[in-house]
Chains A and B, each alone.
Chain A
Amino acid sequence: MLQVNNLHASVEGKAILQGIDLTIPAGEVHAIMGPNGSGKSTLAHVLAGREGYDVTEGTVTYKGEDLLGLAPEERAREGVFLAFQYPVEIPGVSNKLFLKTAVNAIRKHRGEEPLDAYEFLTKLRAILAELGMEEKLVSRELNTGFSGGEKKRNEMLQMALLEPSLAVMDETDSGLDIDALRAVADGVNKLRAHDRSFLVVTHYQRLLEYVVPDVVHVLMDGRIVRSGGHELALELEERGYDWLREEAN
């Protein structure tokens, strides 16, 4: 699904990613852990194509094609989804209209007919029910005045509606209480599929208790310094990151 080779990226001239190698096969959940400032969010944003992140070296291959040459909206239409750490408030824009616009933009790219209002609502309601979410969330203005938990649930809703092939979750667990965390994890688990991969970026182990990863990578100073199974996450929880840094040096 995703192959990252020797990826270097900088922000405002400062090198952040310094040679990432990462392969995520279809259907797997990979977690990226690491201390603050290690480049976790940068990696997520580079994959999604955010402006201001300059790739200076390396390649990213997605479904066998070069990903880095695509604009953000093209990546999204090809199935790359970024669940934001801080979902953006857009006042005056109805959540429902936004969701429908996004769904139909992606359907158009796939050569499918756009959903009309009725079809869309039917689909939306089914997903809301599955995620155990209330419809009133979609009647509000996009993320505007949402609590932290509501924002993250709204990200899960978008993920479920847009059916991505690669979902990158950028610290989705930050700032969530345990109930919201469970709800988000539940959403992710329902979306796990053999043809869908996840890259879960997180600082803490706790999300991984609910979303059990196939592989855990530790990112430090812009490099993956260690990869392992779920037990690596537990070890990090217990011992912190410093021992890895020492080992790496």
Chain B
Amino acid sequence: MSSSTETIQEIADQAYSAGFVTDIESEQLPPGLNEDTVRFISAKKKEPEWLLEWRLDAYQKWLGMVEPTWAHVRYPTIDYQDIIYFSAPKSNADGPKSLDEVDPELLATYEKLGIPLHERAALAGVAVDAVFDSVSVATTFKDRLSDAGVIFCSFSEAVTEHPELVKKYLGSVVPVTDNYFAALNSAVFSDGSFVYIPKGVRCPMELSTYFRINAAKTGQFERTLIIAEEGSHVSYLEGCTAPMRDENQLHAAIVELVAFDNAEIKYSTVQNWYPGDEDGKGGIYNFVTKRGKCAGHHSKISWTQVETGSAITWKYPSCILQGDHSVGEFYSVALSNNMQQADTGTKMIHVGKNTSSTIVSKGISAGKGIQTYRGLVKIMKSAEGARNYTQCDSLLLGDQCRADTVPYVEIRNNTAQLEHEASTSKISDDQLFYLTQRGIDPEDAVNLIINGFCKAVFKELPMEFAVEAQKLLEVSLEGAVG
């Protein structure tokens, strides 16, 4: 980890730095959701009949479901008829062949975000499948990846180019009826990313997608599917920023991962959506279903997330450890400042023999933030010799925030070994005084302490992401400690 204190000053005075709105003509539906909406989206994307049927089926099931209320979050009722379900930048109609053809204003947006696609991506050796609103507009490094046999493309493209793969795996990890938001996504998902790593291939670069919500009142329904065949390896990075808005924006994404024998998927997220202002006005509602299936023996799925944004976070990246000796990991830093509410954690479902899982959750609450860790460790009867290690730490800044830990454990096999550690702490005056007595700015001192607190998670992130994550926490906690 590098010293980032030099850069803190630069960002110290900024408000939410990604808060701007790009003016790009959108081709969008009027607000509202019915069967025609679903048909419109499907037609717009020239989808095959089976996918339309799949969507319509999901829509029907969604109609019969109710929004979950068990999470420790409060928000005004969402009017699903007041949401725009499709919006695409018009300039994409002909499809840009290269970055030169991408709307310059869009490129400028990435610049402002610090994502100069063409240069930075190349320097970092990262392929970027940039999702702007609902349609992918630029993809780089495709050649290098295709040489290795890796498929990395937008979800829509995968539907056209690799329908057999999509058909086989879509909904195989997160069923349509898994939950209310999953059903909604299944009906109206717009676009997202698709990754396929063939047998024995180690993906030659880290894959990264920057999601961005832009058009007003546009719900974002991303869909990501990653398949790692036997003996393959992939590291996927996901980062999000969103412009400042007064209205709440709904986001209900689905991520499905499948790892076969000896395959490994590492999925890292740095999430920085607009959290709303200090009074809780605006901000993104983030209801996400992320789940990975360790289908093969000795497979491994690792989730690492740094969650600093959103007004509401409802997210439980999970692993189904089906293959014998498979491994699931969940490393999380979640921050809630001001009026933010986060109910997040994981589920580790042990099915196969000698499966093991690790959960390291670091929750930071500041302002009037509410933070809940909610985790389930389930050991099925078949999971002989399963092991789990869980560590949940909460750090409170100030006296108006709150942190709760809600661990659920279900054991149906008595050979299981489980360890659980939990702590709740505050940044002490002693620690702050010690650091400031060495000339360190109080704000930098807080950042140092928080970075220390999060170290166990940050070290799981790819290097450049770890630095970004540190910056994010610093920006997100500005003014949280006087």
Chain A residues with Cβ below 8 Å from B456 are 92
B439→A93 contact, CB < 8 A:
no
- In the complex, which residue of chain A has the Cβ closest to the Cβ of B455? A92
Residues A105 and B431 in contact, CB atoms below 8 Å apart: no
B306 to chain A, nearest CB (A): 15
Interface size class of B (residues with CB under 8 A): 20 to 34
A52 CA to B430 CA, complexed, in Å: 11
A98-114 interface with B by 8 A CB criterion: 98, 100-102, 104-106, 109, 114
A156 to chain B, nearest CB (A): 14
Question: B413-432: which have CB < 8 Å to A?
Answer: 428-431
Residue from B5, B430, B434 whose CB has the most chain A CB atoms within 10 Å:
B434
- The chain B residue with its CB closest to the CB of A97 is B3
Which chain B residue shows the least CB distance to A87? B434
Which of B3, B430, B454 has a CB less than 8 Å from the CB of A88?
B430
Proximity string of chain B (167-189) to chain A, C-beta cutoff 8 Å, 1 when within and 0 when not: 00000000000000000000000
Q: Given A73-B441, A87-B434, A93-B448, check contact A105 B5 (CB 8 Å).
A: yes
Let me know if B435 and A98 touch, CB within 8 A: yes
A90 touches B439 (CB 8 A): no
8 Å CB contact of B452 from A71, A92, A109: A92
Residues in A with CB closer than 8 Å to B431 are 88, 90
Chain A CB within 8 A of B442 CB: yes
Question: Do the beta carbons of A98 and B448 come within 8 Å of each other?
Answer: yes
Most-contacted residue by chain A among B430, B440, B449 (CB, 10 A): B440
A51-B433, A73-B436, A106-B439 given as contacts; is B449 within 8 A of A93 (CB)? yes
B69 interface hit (Cβ, 8 Å): no
**A162 touching B438 by the CB < 8 A rule?**
yes
A76 an interface residue at 8 Å Cβ cutoff?
Answer: yes
Is there a chain B Cβ closer than 8 Å to A77's Cβ? yes
In whole angstroms, what is the CA distance A151 to B437 when docked? 16
Q: Is the CB of B435 within 8 A of A82?
A: no
CB-based contact A84/B5 at 8 Å: no
Of A48, A92, A101, the contact of B440 (CB 8 Å cutoff): A101
Interface centre among A98, A100, A162 (most CB of B within 10 A): A98
Expressed in whole angstroms, the Cα–Cα distance for A51 and B435 within the complex equals 13
A145 at the interface (CB under 8 A from B): no
User: Of B434, B438, B452, which one neighbours A141 at CB under 8 angstroms?
Assistant: B452
Taken together as a complex, chains A and B put the C-alpha atoms of A162 and B435 apart, in Å, by 13
Whether B434 contacts A104 by the Cβ 8 Å rule is no
Choose from B1, B428, B441 the contact partner of A97 (Cβ within 8 Å). Answer: B1
**A197 lies within 8 A of chain B by Cβ:** no
A202: CB under 8 A from chain B? no
Query: Are A50's CB and B433's CB within 8 A?
Result: yes
In-complex Cβ contact of B448 among A49, A51, A71, A90 (8 A): A90
Is B444 among interface residues, defined by CB-CB distance under 8 A? yes
Contact present for B444 and A101 (CB under 8 Å):
yes
Take A93-B452, A104-B5 as given contacts and tell me if A72 and B436 are in contact as well, using a CB distance cutoff of 8 Å.
Answer: yes
Q: Is the CB of A92 within 8 A of B437?
A: no
Chain A 38-78, CB within 8 Å of chain B: the 1/0 string?
Answer: 00000000001111100000000000000000011101110
Q: Are A158 and B449 in contact (CB under 8 A)?
A: no
Question: Given the complex of chains A and B, what is the CA–CA distance between A73 and B444 in angstroms?
Answer: 11
Are A91's CB and B444's CB within 8 A?
no
Hey, which chain B residues are within 8 Å of A93, CB to CB?
448-449, 451-452, 455
**Residues of A close to B6: CB separation below 8 A:** 104, 114
A91 to B439, Cβ gap below 8 A? no
A104 CA to B5 CA, complexed, in Å: 9
**B residues 350-385 touching A (CB-CB < 8 Å):** none
Contact with B along A186-221 (1 / 0, CB 8 A): 000000000000000000000000000000000000
Nearest-neighbor residue (CB-CB) of A106 within chain B:
B439
Contacting residues, chain A, for B455 (C-beta < 8 A): 92-93
**Residue with the greatest number of chain A CB neighbours at <10 A, chosen from B3, B431, B439, B451:** B439
- B3 touching A100, Cβ below 8 Å: yes
Flag if A102 contacts B433 (CB, 8 Å).
no
> Is A92 in contact with B5, judged by CB distance below 8 angstroms?
no
- Does residue B453 face the partner (Cβ distance < 8 Å to A)? yes
- Within the complex, the shortest CB–CB distance from A120 to chain B, in Å, comes to 9
A141 to B1, CA, bound (A): 13
CB distance from A152 to the nearest CB of B (A): 14
Return the chain B residue nearest A168 by Cβ: B437
Q: Which of B3, B430, B437, B454 lies in contact with A101, CB distance below 8 A?
A: B3
Q: Once the chains are docked, how many angstroms separate the CA of A97 from the CA of B3?
A: 6
**Residues in chain A near residue B449, CB distance under 8 A:** 90, 93
Is B437's CB under 8 angstroms from A105's CB?
no
Which residues of the other chain, B, contact A106 by a CB distance below 8 angstroms? 439
B residues in contact with A73, CB < 8 Å: 436-437, 439-442
Chain A residues numbered 78-96 whose CB sits less than 8 Å from any CB in chain B: 81-82, 84, 87-88, 90-94
Closest 3 CB pairs of A and B: A92-B452, A93-B452, A102-B438
Contacts A48-B433, A98-B438 given; 5 further ones with Cβ under 8 A? Answer: A73-B437, A76-B440, A87-B434, A102-B440, A162-B439
Could you show 24 A-B contacts with beta carbons less than 8 Å apart? A51-B433, A71-B436, A73-B441, A75-B437, A76-B436, A76-B438, A81-B437, A87-B434, A88-B428, A88-B430, A90-B431, A90-B435, A92-B453, A92-B454, A93-B448, A93-B452, A93-B455, A102-B435, A104-B3, A104-B6, A105-B5, A105-B439, A109-B439, A142-B452
Q: Which residues of B contact A (CB under 8 A)?
A: 1, 3, 5-6, 428-431, 433-442, 444, 448-449, 451-456
